Structure 1
Amino acid sequence: MKINFILTGEGSSDLRLVEHIENILIQNGFDEASGEAPDLGRLVNPPGRTVREKLIAILQYYPDIDAIFVHRDADGTGTAAREQEIALACGGIAGLPTVIPIIPVTMLETWLLADQDAIKRVSGNQNNQGQITCIPGLNRLESTRDTKTLLLEALCEASAAQGGAIGKIQKALL
């Protein structure tokens, strides 16, 4: 069985989540999983920032998808409030495929920091055999502050880029 999906989220770091979702879907019985995380802000008429506006735009531009994954950080509101926000956003939208909330309790960047191989792939240097030294141990990740900056640092380290190349990486990710 094959599944095609769209991921919509909160920022550019969410784009790296597609591969993880594809892997999880395959591990859970799908023969093939194909996902995209389009930058809806680049559309001729970009949608607003609400979940509902994004869902309507996705349905318009991707009418044949099987599912939409909606990433929203729990932040200070909590998981239940985010689930309710997503459910309310879906109300009354005809033809909407299955909508699956992704609501990490800690920031997505913290989750990504736990996967050094993924960081190496995203950095363009998947052949890097070394450890990424700027990442603290798993037992300290959840208490790490400013994980976005740490993830950027890890991507730069994993890429083995130097000088101006680091600036290009930072610009591409911010």
Structure 2
Amino acid sequence: MTLRLSKPDFSLLDKVPKDVRSRVTVGMKLLRDPVDLVVVHRDADNVGHEVRQSEIETAVREAGVTSSVMPVIPVRMTEAWLLLDESGIRQVAGNPRGRKDLRLPKAHEIENVADPKHVLKECLVNAADVSGRRHDRITKRFFQHRRQLLERLDCTGPVSGLPSWKRLVADIDAVVEQWK
């Protein structure tokens, strides 16, 4: 069995609407080849997991996709999951031995943080513990730092205890079970 991961390059087109149905429809056309699994990421934000899952299922059905679908629905934002890794935040910020208090939320509070992206930005700056131009550089590199934290995410670590992560794992298991 061969695994090939693809992500449609929406930048090849003038403007693709941001709704799920449009993204899936255009994405399937851009990929051209048939796919076995469509992964749709949509933050739960303030509407909740069930609403987002229904939105994804409806959009994919209306787009005429017959492939298996994997919804990825973190509570609020994906950044919430990253707030569980203090040492990773310090490492990515370039100050692994730093001692400054990052004021990270407790694990049981993570999924209730109103704006995890903002909190993560502040934590990265605090972890770097720099000022002036270096402070500005850290701030400007947020998206790169976030990507690095996602790449380092320990799937069996603290994130594995979060309800949103458990749902993701259950959804993956369900798709794999369908394929058997």
- Please report how far the alpha carbon of residue 90 of structure 1 lies from its aligned counterpart in structure 2 after TM superposition: 0.9
Map 1:3-42 → 2, pairs under 5 A: 3-5=3-5, 40=10, 42=11
Identity %: 31
What's the C-alpha RMSD, in Å, of the aligned pairs?
3.3
Question: Cα 1:168–1:43, aligned 2, differ >3 Å: closer, same or farther?
Answer: farther
In structure 2, give the amino acid aligned to 1:75: D
SS in 1 for 2:70: strand
Give 2:139's aligned residue: 170
Structure 1 window deviating more from structure 2 (70-79 vs 146-155): it is 70-79
Map 1:23-172 → 2, pairs under 5 A: 40=10, 42-64=11-33, 66-94=36-64, 97-120=67-90, 123=92, 125=94, 128-130=96-98, 133-134=101-102, 135-159=104-128, 161-172=130-141
- CA-to-aligned-CA distance 1:88-133 (integer Å, 9 cap, x gap): 1112535664321112234322221012354356x364x7244673
**Residue segments in structure 1 that go unaligned for 5+ positions in a row:** 7-35
- Which structure shows the higher strand fraction? 1
Question: Cα 1:116–1:165, aligned 2, differ >3 Å: closer, same or farther?
Answer: same
- CA-to-aligned-CA distance 1:56-105 (integer Å, 9 cap, x gap): 22223334454332222223323222111111111253566432111223
Which structure is larger by alpha-carbon Rg, 1 or 2? 2
Tell me, yes or no, if the aligned pair for 1:3 and 1:66 is still in contact at 8 Å: no
- CA-to-aligned-CA distance 1:14-49 (integer Å, 9 cap, x gap): xxxxxxxxxxxxxxxxxxxxxx5x773x44423101
CA distance in 2, matches of 1:132, 1:63: 50
SS in 1 for 2:43: coil
CA distance in 2, matches of 1:78, 1:163: 40
SS in 1 for 2:52: helix
Give 2:165's aligned residue: none
Tell me, yes or no, if the aligned pair for 1:109 and 1:151 is still in contact at 8 Å: yes
Tell me, yes or no, if the aligned pair for 1:51 and 1:86 is still in contact at 8 Å: yes
Question: Cα 1:77–1:136, aligned 2, differ >3 Å: closer, same or farther?
Answer: closer
CA distance in 1, matches of 2:12, 2:131: 34
In structure 1, give the amino acid aligned to 2:125: C
Tell me, yes or no, if the aligned pair for 2:21 and 2:59 is still in contact at 8 Å: yes
- Please report how far the alpha carbon of residue 150 of structure 1 lies from its aligned counterpart in structure 2 after TM superposition: 1.1
**Residue segments in structure 2 that go unaligned for 5+ positions in a row:** 144-180
Question: Cα 1:141–1:167, aligned 2, differ >3 Å: closer, same or farther?
Answer: same
